Structure 1
Amino acid sequence: MRSLSFRVLCLTIFFVMVSEVLIYTPSIARFRLTYLTEKLDKAHLAALTIDGSPDRVISQELTFELLDHVGAYEIVVEGPEGDTRSLSRPMFPPGEVEVSLYEPMPMALVFDAFDALFQTGNRILRVTGPAPMEPASTVSITIDEYPLRMVMYDYSWRILTLSVLISVFTAALVFVSLRWLLVRPLERITESLVAFRKRPEDRGTDLDDRGRRDEIGVALRELGLMKEEMRAALRQRTRLAALGTAVSKISHDLRNMLSTATLISDRLAMSQDPDVQKVTPTLVKAIDRAVALCSTTLNFTRETPPLTLAPVRLADLVAELRAELAELKDKDVEVLLSQEGDIVFQADRDQMFRVVANIASNAVNAGADTLRVSAWEASGRLLVDIADNGPGIPEEGRGRLFQPFQFSTRRDGTGLGLTIARDLVQAHGGTLTLERTGSDGSTFRMNLPARTVV
């Protein structure tokens, strides 16, 4: 009952029936007009028998026969020169409804036709109009409406029967055509998508798009290309997952080994041997970089932890960032906060600080000595800009900023800082983008949901 085929069938029948109703409305009005016009024609012919009788007088018996043939109580024909011919019964009811067939209006004909159909009793009609064979003459007849309504009912029933037959026949043709051209291909596409979701590697459910040059053919070809791209992506993802697992294990074990090397290097740093003191700083820095590389790799391969949302004051984040950068002995970095009012928003404080710290660290490593943080609300979103006065990002690196292991501001960097920052911002329901970059510095923008802004 909910299938597309059944709905197409029902809609086709419905629309055909609506079309038949639209056709029936003027048809029933025209049928009533024709019926009354034929009555006037018969009445005119009946009145002409008066001219063929002696002294223009006919017997009462013939008068009744002519009136019965027309189905009227009275017939009056007025000629263009004022002469009158009339036939009537001795006693007949007066006309209740005046019907004029002189220049009938289409809407009036439709209204009168439906008015006649919805009557429950018999009304006496006095119909006046031009004589069909003598337009200059006027014919008036007095008739019952009941016989007219009965033939209109009969006509309506025939129209309804014919409409139903046409609807069913047309719906069947349209249904078969649409099912062959549209519905069945869509069903096959749906079945293929469901099977692909269950077993992406199974090619037995792929569809053949040969022979179709219409939109369905385009959809089939695009679906085939999408499947191939998805299979390639899944294969790559599987390889990357295996590689990530291996790298995580190696990094974990290597970090444990480096911890031992760190303890030994600390003891070497306490040695008074001049040769040992000469090589120890280089060794310590190399071990520290190796430990940082292992820690960064482990952080990237680890799933983003569940966020603990709480009110976070932007000024506190900037102050914490300022304190951390102040520990850099070889650089003097100024962190400025430009904003209107005290901005507080819902976020995971530790994860949001990781975002700000990663962006700031990249800027400082690139040569920036001033960072400016600004924030404002727009269209229900919180926008946070982190701008620096560094040398900017090279053209070749702008398209690979957020790709892991692709771009770093340091020669010994991993290229994971911005990738981790982007993932953390996305976990908060926001986006991280490079707003601008140039020789006077770069600006990164966080677009976050403004859950709480004060």
Structure 2
Amino acid sequence: MADQNPHLPRAHQSLSARLLVLTVAFVMLAELSIYTPSVARFRKSYLEERITRAQLATLAIESMPEQAADTEMGRILLKNTDSYAIALKQADRRILIAGGEMPPRVDAEYDLRMESFWVWIEDAFVALAQRENRILRVIGVSPKRPGVEIEVYMDETPLREEMYAYSGRIFQLSLVISLFTAGLVYVSLMLMMVRPMRRIMAGMESFRRAPEDETRIFQPSDRPDEIGIAQRELAVMQDELRLALRQKDRLAMLGAAVAKVNHDLRNSLATAMLIGDRLAASDDPDVQRLVPRMFRAMDRAVTLCSQTLDYASATMPTLTLKPMQLAEIVRMAGETLNQEVPGAADAASFELTNEVPDSVRVMADPAQMLRVFENLGRNAREAGASSVRVAARHQDGVLVVEVIDDGPGMPEQATEHLFQPFAGSARDGGTGLGLVIAREVLHAHGGDIELASTGPEGTTFRLRLKAA
């Protein structure tokens, strides 16, 4: 038996917690896509700023003679710009600020005039991945004097430290944004989805404990969205299920009553059969004429009782499946139909033609599958058919069997309520249970049955079965 007190999922397993984590992850992923070009742009701006500072440093000594470039003033300018050397090139002049020493060996060179966006992104992550200092040679153009080229020799470590600090600020800001966004999403989902879903769960659990109780049917809200639709559909489903369960209980009680009536009626019919046997020995012509009719009426009464009892029991016997020749099952059904009313005029004129090849085999319960063809043949004979033809063929991996009679066809009322008990009979006084039982047996075998056609020229039922 299912647990009658199911617990809500743990906090880390709940839908809201998962959505919270996913929201944080997605926001951080979005921030990463923004961070990548941002850190590259930060590095480029840093280097451009160093070019600008270097250009300003050169302005202080441009008016000096060349021999004054290595003076103490030059060393002070290099210290203020955090550079090893600065070179200024123009068409008619070249200025070098080296502080009296040769620039160190260059590890990497970057030309701010040449590199593209994707190259800047790559260079930024290469710089972040370094563990040791590198000497950079940065080449750029003066922002104030486009014709002047400036070179700066500098350490990479200060740049990398600035990039780390910038990355930390971006990460902190992204984390705050993601947590704030996730909190808003969490609260919104709790109010709009999680709480309504928990209410639906509680309503389902309450209904499961007592589905017959009308007061336990879920009361939906007026929400126009998908959750509101789900709530209303749940209420409709619970109401229909409650009615179905109530009807099932009534049918169960009716089945028990029918079983008792069937037992008593069979005893009465057995007595009538004994009296009929005595009457059959009479030489009275009127008696000889009426006794066969009495036998047929009693046989129909026995069949009606048997079908009603089978349906009212609402149980399907356990199937014993085995490979069978379908032609053999159809042949046995024909023999049974011809022996049901010995000596009767309608039995003598009825014929079941078996056109099923002997090679056709099905995985079926022989006794239950025999009931299908007996019911179909019996229905055709009682509807006025003089012959029934059974044919079979393979189509798209499925065995298709057609049962074709030459009767007058089915009335419109019968076709509208086909496969409905006590409503789909083609003749007065019929129950329509033959087709209902046949379909239940076919469904148990994984097959189906449908009305292919009906009219003055006859009726055709099409069966679909799994081939062996």
Q: What is the rounded CA distance, in whole Å, between the counterparts of 2:329 and 2:222 in structure 1?
A: 62
Closer/same/farther in 2, CA of residues 427 and 259 from structure 1, 3 Å limit: same
Aligned to 2:323: 311
The superposition leaves residues 22-42 of structure 1 with CA deviations (integer Å, 9 ceiling, x where unpaired) of 111111101100110101010
Structure 1 segments unaligned to the other structure (5+ residues): none
In the alignment, structure 1 residue 87 sits paired with structure 2 residue 104? no
1:402 is matched by which residue type in structure 2? F
Cα deviation digits, residues 311-357 of structure 1 (max 9, x gap): 11012122223333444642433433445661111101111011011
Over 3 Å counting, the alpha-carbon distance change for 1:256 and 1:326 in structure 2 is closer
Is 2:86–2:96's contact at 8 Å kept on the other side of the alignment? yes
Checking the alignment, whether the CA contact within 8 Å between 1:252 and 1:298 is kept in structure 2 is: no
Q: CA deviation at 1:213?
A: 2.0
Deviates more, 1:419-428 or 1:286-295: 286-295
Instruction: Tell me which residue corresponds to 2:236.
Output: 225
Displacement of 1:270: 3.1
Q: 1:276 to 1:377 in 2, by over 3 A?
A: closer
Shift of 1:138: 1.1
Query: Cα offset for 1:368?
Result: 2.4
Letter paired with 2:153: T
Cα distance in 1 for partners of 2:70, 2:98 equals 12
1:212-291 equivalences under 5 Å are 212-271=223-282, 280-291=291-302
Matched ranges for 1:292-307 at <5 A: 292-302=303-313, 303-307=315-319
Q: Which moved more, 1:31-40 or 1:64-73?
A: 64-73
Partner of 2:34: 23
Percent identity over the alignment is 45
Give the aligned CA root-mean-square deviation in angstroms: 2.3
> After superposition, what is the alpha-carbon deviation per residue over 1:396-427, rounded to whole angstroms, capped at 9, x for unaligned?
21121211111323334322111111111111
The residue that corresponds to 1:369 in the other structure is 386
The Cα of 1:205 is off from its aligned counterpart by 4.7
Name the amino acid aligned to 1:85.
I
Query: CA shift at 1:12, angstroms?
Result: 0.7
Superposed CA offset, 1:21-62 (max 9, x none): 111111110110011010101010011111254778356322
Answering whether residue 336 of structure 2 is matched by residue 324 of structure 1, we say yes
Deviates more, 1:348-357 or 1:250-259: 250-259
Q: CA deviation at 1:111?
A: 0.6
Contact 2:212 2:245 in 1 (8 A): no
CA distance in 2, matches of 1:24, 1:87: 36
SS at match of 2:460: strand
Q: Please state if 1:126 is matched with 2:137.
A: yes
How many angstroms does 1:371 deviate by? 2.4
Counterpart AA for 1:311: P
- 1:115 to partner: Cα distance: 0.8
Provide the C-alpha distance between the structure 2 equivalents of 1:315 and 1:175, rounded to a whole number of angstroms.
66
Answer yes or no: is the 8 Å Cα contact 1:96–1:124 preserved in 2: yes
Instruction: After TM superposition, give the deviation of residue 272 of structure 1 in Å.
Output: 5.4
Which of the numbers 359, 370, 383 marks the counterpart of 2:400? 383
Deviates more, 1:350-359 or 1:48-57: 48-57
Q: CA deviation at 1:211?
A: 4.1
The alpha carbon displacement at 1:19 in A equals 0.5
Q: Is the 8 A contact 1:130 1:137 kept in 2?
A: yes
| 1:355 maps to 2:367 | no
**Cα separation, 2, equivalents of 1:398 and 1:139:** 96
Question: Which digits, 9 at most, give the CA deviation of each residue in 1:261-315, with x for residues without a partner?
Answer: 3223323333456776676555444433322222221222232111111111012
Q: Match for 1:180: what amino acid?
A: L
The normalised TM-score by structure 2 is 0.89
For residue 375 of structure 2, give the secondary structure of its aligned residue in structure 1: helix
- Summarize deviations over 1:79-120 as a string: whole Å, max 9, x none: 3x3322221130331222110111531111111101111112
SS at match of 2:115: coil
Aligned residues: 450
User: How far 1:253 sits from its partner (Å)?
Assistant: 2.2
Relative distance call for 1:400 and 1:173 in structure 2 (3 A) is same
Moved more, 231-240 or 199-208: 199-208
3-state SS in 2 of match to 1:92: coil
**Aligned equivalents of 2:401 and 2:321: distance in 1?**
18
- Equivalents in 2 of 1:283, 1:321: separation in Å? 24
Compute the displacement of 1:203 (Å).
Answer: 4.7
Give 2:206's match in structure 1, choosing from 191, 195, 207. 195
Residue 94 of structure 2 aligns with an amino acid whose one-letter code is T
Q: What is the CA–CA distance in structure 1 between the aligned matches of 2:217 and 2:429, rounded to whole Å?
A: 47
| Stretch deviating more after TM superposition (46-55 or 432-441) | 46-55
Amino acid at match of 1:92: P
Conserved? CA contact 1:123–1:146, under 8 Å: yes
Give 3-state SS (helix, strand or coil) of 2:61's partner: coil
CA contact (8 A) 2:255 2:309 kept: no
Mapped contact 1:50–1:56 kept (Cα < 8 A): no
**Counterpart contact for 2:392–2:401, Cα < 8 Å:** yes
Deviations 1:199-249 (A, max 9, x none): 213455544434422222222222222222222222222222222221222
User: 1:121-143 deviations in whole A, cap 9, x for unaligned?
Assistant: 11111111111222221111111
Q: Which residue of 1 aligns with 2:462?
A: 445
Q: Aligned partners of 1:92 and 1:264: how far apart in 2?
A: 133
The DSSP-based 3-state class of the residue aligned with 2:13 is coil
**Contact 2:416–2:424 under 8 Å retained in 1:** no
Mapped to 2, the partners of 1:317 and 1:165 lie a distance apart of 76
